Amino acid sequence: MIKQNTLVILSPGFPENEADSTCIPAQQVFVRNLKKNFPALNIVVLAFQYPFTSSRYQWQGVTVFSFGGKNRGGVFRMLVWIRAWLKLRKLKRQHNLVGLLSFWMGECTLVAFRFARWYKVKHFSWVLGQDAKLWNKYFDRIQPRAASLIALSDFIAAEFNRNYQIRPTHVIPVGIDPAMFNLPAAERDIDILGAGSLIPLKQYFLLVNIVGVLRETRPDIKAIICGDGPEMESLRTMVRNLDLENNITLMGELEHKDVLDMMGRAKIFVHTSAYEGFGVVCLEALYAGAQVVSFVKPMDAEIRNWHFAHMQDDMLKIVKGLLDDPGTDHTPVIPYLVDDSNKAIMKLFDYNEDAI
């Protein structure tokens, strides 16, 4: 019996169904397009913590096993690891494992690394963001080799090297899927757009401050922030205290497609995060025709219409200049395609369906 070629992806979480567009949107776009670009490849996802229920289900032609860890620690987390190990062992018996791909260098990489070493299976860990920071508790337990690491960006590769003296051999951005966009937008009626989780790291209070300053000369300035999180109430209070309720709208969490539509209406996408692995939302905004302004520069190469600031005053100056310039460019820019990301990842596993 010929065993099916199978790639196993290990992730802390995964969409609970095909309607769930808010759970790791960049990674789900990657997985969906991976199946499209490699239709003969059987893709299995092991979701450790989310969904919060233990089940097997189909998602866009991909088989997902969720272990329902619910982010609990101690013995509960160990049980998830054991279940993941047993599932991997069963999959290896029943399939031809092309390899293992773990999202983030955390518990998923720990399980995948040890399994791959024991059973002589190819494994790569995709370092995607804060897992490159100092004090990653899994690093000493994994002791990864540079050749087994994929960095999401040049910034992440440099950050990982700075903190752990190992520079990931591979740099592969996630990329975007142009088919998800409705272009062109009817009108760019949003001056400034922000989108992401409302957590302290994202520093959305800076965006509110910037709008407050710009309103002095642009009383009708319109800004929208999409997302939800623990900072929502403090941002609401800040908007109210600065009398910006007619200028800033806090939309809460929206479906991914709705955020993309808003990007098509935005003149400038402002990303105030203090730390970012890449910021796929910035790539999406670029393709939607918005100018992008951020603090973190993900790639060493310059990207058209993406501007970088060192501090709030720099960001304010850049945003003001773009709004004041009637010739500001809103041509779609697409530096990285998800299809290319798919091919680059599978090349690491020496998998090519043309040769099958």
Q: Residue 193 is inside which H or E element, if any?
A: strand 190-195
Arithmetic mean of pLDDT, 199-209 = 95
Please name which of 210, 212, 193, 216 lies closest in space to residue 312, comparing C-alpha atoms: 210
As to burial, measured by CB atoms within 10 angstroms (0-12 exposed, 13-18 middle, 19+ buried), residue 27 is buried
Domain parsing of the chain, residue ranges: 5-175+337-355, 178-324
| Beta carbons of 215 and 248 less than 8 angstroms apart | no
Kindly report, residue by residue over 224-243, the tens digit of the pLDDT: 999 999 999 999 999 999 99
Cα 68 to Cα 1: distance, rounded to the nearest angstrom:
33
Topology agreement, domain 5-175+337-355 and domain 178-324? yes
| Beta carbons of 270 and 276 less than 8 angstroms apart | no
- 204, two tokens: 């959305």
Confidence grade of residue 355 (pLDDT, cut at 50, 70, 90): very low
Instruction: Indicate if the pLDDT at residue 356 is higher than 70.
Output: no
- Percentage with pLDDT > 70 across the chain: 99
Mean pLDDT of the chain: 95
Cα 125 to Cα 110: distance, rounded to the nearest angstrom:
9
Arithmetic mean of pLDDT, 299-306 = 96
**CATH numeric code, 178-324:** 3.40.50.2000
Arithmetic mean of pLDDT, 24-38 = 96
Instruction: Indicate if the pLDDT at residue 45 is higher than 90.
Output: yes
| Beta carbons of 348 and 124 less than 8 angstroms apart | yes
Residues whose CB falls within 8 Å of the CB of residue 79, separated by 6 or more in sequence, listed in order: none
pLDDT of residue 200: 94
Please name which of 210, 208, 254, 250 lies closest in space to residue 233, comparing C-alpha atoms: 250
Please name which of 344, 352, 349, 339 lies closest in space to residue 101, comparing C-alpha atoms: 349
Kindly report, residue by residue over 135-159, the tens digit of the pLDDT: 999 999 999 999 999 999 999 999 9
- Cα angle vertex 88, ends 34, 127, to 5°? 50
**CATH numeric code, 5-175+337-355:** 3.40.50.2000
Kindly report, residue by residue over 108-130, the tens digit of the pLDDT: 999 999 999 999 999 999 999 99
Confidence grade of residue 2 (pLDDT, cut at 50, 70, 90): confident
